[in-house]
Amino acid sequence: MTDPFTLLHPSYATTATTATIAIHHGTYGVVTALPTSLSLFSLVVTVASIFLCSVIAMYFYRSYRFSGFGYLLGLPTGFAILAASFVFEHLSVIYSYPYANESLENLFFWIQLALQSEGFAFIALSYMLKNRANFTTINGLLPDTYKVFFSPHNWIYSSIKIREIIVGVLPMILISIPLMITISALFVQPILNDTELKDMSLYTTLFDIVVLGYIFVKCLKPLVKVANIKLLYIPASFALLWLEQYSLIINYFDNNQFAFIGSIIVRLAGLGLFVYAIYYALSSGRSREMEIET
């Protein structure tokens, strides 16, 4: 019997390529009502995810515009890219039903994987750069890296260590890894197939797990120091996004339906909690201002 959750995300299925093709044939030949409901479900999830990501991106972009703190730009950029990835996720679901469009489905899924990892990498970049130089822009950091590499004086005499070189280059590595993984997959296998995508989805999901773990720790540390439990909503939302990726890994190995449904619910909960955290923080700040005024 055709597994509807495998249909929604065929590339996460643990079955072999032949089995996936069989599923596609099954969908094309037998089921007509199911894809409509599933595509509708996918549309609702996608619209909700895009809306939540856009709200987050808008608030942090406004903060960046107001302050000009370059490191803040990573967060709205990341969430905007994440929102774009959900569009491609939906498109890959839509094109997964007619078997003739498998190449489009694979292409959209490939773009979704690349964008999702890139989005998380940009969010991590904000946390990576926040302590680098107090309130300097991302561009402001480039000359230091340049100095480390190209000044012979620094190489020979100064106390600049390899650690500083790594720290200077790390943001660039972080941003380029998702692109490298996804583009290298094209070099290995120019025509994308299910097996290729399955492998790539595993690598990108593992990358996302590592990056989200880093974001969670970096986000949690300063809030624990403040010791205000009400500020822990945003780390909790990152933890939920981490859980989404973890559920996708379970789904990859086990083809577990509940893990897949759980990943969708957890993603929406994570993004929703993030928006609520912004709303809560701003509204509590406003009420505090009003108390001071009265």
Partner 1 sequence: MRQEKRHKLQLFYEILIAIEGYMSNNDVTAAKPTHIQHTSRLSYDKMMNHFNELEKKGMIIYRRNNTDVLISITNKGKQFIKQYNELMILIESAGL
Nearer to partner 1, 191 or 226 (CB): 226
Residues 245-284, mask of contacts with partner 1 (x by CB under 8 A): --------------------------------xx-xxx-x
Token representation of residue 151 = 């000044």
Site track 112-131 with partner 1 (rule: CB under 8 A), x = hit: --------------xx--x-
**Near partner 1 by CB under 8 A: residue from 42, 50, 55, 59:** 59
Angle at 180 between CA 266 and CA 149, to 5 degrees: 115
Nearer to partner 1, 28 or 280 (CB): 280
Q: Is 132 in the site for partner 1 (CB under 8 A)?
A: no
- The residue within the footprint of partner 1, chosen from 1, 33, 66, 162 (CB under 8 A), is 66
Q: Dihedral (C-alpha) 121, 124, 129, 130: value to the nearest 10 degrees?
A: 160
The Cα 220–Cα 139 span in angstroms is 26
Binding piece for partner 1, criterion CB under 8 A, among 13-21, 28-36, 69-77, 245-253: 69-77
Handedness of CA 51, 58, 81, 259 (dihedral sign): negative
* Closest to 132 in 3D by CA, of 159, 140, 226, 161: 140
- Ramachandran category for residue 250: left, alpha or beta (phi over 0 → left; psi -120 to 50 → alpha): alpha
Q: Scanning residues 200 to 219, which ones bind partner 1 (CB under 8 A)?
A: 218-219
Site for partner 1 in 14-43 (CB under 8 A): none
287 binds partner 1 (CB under 8 A): no
φ/ψ of residue 190, rounded to 5: -60, -35
State the minimum distance, in angstroms, from the CB of residue 171 to partner 1.
Answer: 15
Q: Is 235 in the site for partner 1 (CB under 8 A)?
A: yes
Question: Least distance to partner 1 from the beta carbon of 194, Å?
Answer: 38
Q: What are the structure tokens assigned to 14, written together?
A: 């643990």
Q: How far apart are CA 108 and CA 123, in angstroms?
A: 22
- Number of shown-chain residues binding partner 1 (CB under 8 A): 33
Please report which residue ranges of the chain form alpha helices under DSSP H. Answer: 4-8, 17-29, 33-67, 74-94, 102-129, 138-150, 152-156, 162-188, 194-226, 233-254, 257-293
Min dist CB 218 to partner 1, Å, is: 7
Residue from 14, 37, 67, 287 in contact with partner 1 (CB under 8 A): 67
Residues making contact with partner 1 (CB under 8 A): 59-60, 63, 66-68, 71-72, 75, 126-127, 130, 134-135, 218-223, 226, 231, 233-235, 277-278, 280-282, 284-285, 289
